[in-house]
Amino acid sequence: MTSMENVTSGGGIRLAARGAVAGHRRAASLIGLIVMLAASTVSADSAFGNGDLRGAYGFSFDLTFATGQRIAAVGRFTADGAGTYTGERTVNLGTGSPDSPGVFHQSFSCMYSVDQNGTGTAVCSTPFGPERFAFVLVDEGKELQFISITPGISLRGVARRQAS
């Protein structure tokens, strides 16, 4: 059969072979488009929640107080996926002397909430009083980028989920 021949289907419908091939291509394109739209809808409808912040994370941050004093810290926290995390950090005040180097260790506990769009807030209890943070989960919750929302403090940090 040439590409221009007419064909009669088993049901008696006459089709031009070229038209049938073009029709199959359009149908395949339409099915591909529907699959892509369905996949993007699933991704767009996927919502974050407290369960997306779960496990052990290592973090670091730099902060500057309104007075100009700078501090650096590293640490680790463990989130339970239900709105609480606890951790430890080592803080370097950048001050001190050989007898008092300005480095200390601190424990903290926090309550957090993750919004559907992956942003969230945390309030932490520390020996120096409450600290408040805003954050965003990225890379499927493997990373947390955060800033302080405590007045008088400019802090920016990153936390990465630790591999077990």
Window from 109-113, 136-140, 152-156 with minimum mean pLDDT: 152-156
pLDDT for 146 equals 97
Whether residue 95 sits in one domain with residue 40: no
Q: Compute the distance between CA of residue 11 and CA of residue 21 in angstroms, rounded to an integer.
A: 18
pLDDT for 128 equals 84
Number of domains within the chain: 2
CATH classification at residue 90:
2.40.128.120
Judged by DSSP in three states, 59 sits in strand
pLDDT for 36 equals 43
Domain of residue 143: give its range: 50-161
Q: Residue 81: pLDDT above 70?
A: yes
DSSP assignment of 74-129 equals EEEEEEESSSEEEEEEEEE-S---SSS-SEEEEEEEEEEEE-TTSEEEEEEEETTE
pLDDT for 142 equals 95
Whether residue 99 sits in one domain with residue 29: no
pLDDT for 101 equals 73
pLDDT for 152 equals 86
Tens of pLDDT, residue by residue over 84-115, are: 999 999 999 888 766 777 899 999 999 999 99
How many residues would you count in the chain? Answer: 164
Burial of 74 (0-12, 13-18, 19+ CB in 10 A): middle
Across the range 72-95, mean pLDDT stands at: 95
> What average pLDDT does the chain have?
80
pLDDT for 13 equals 42
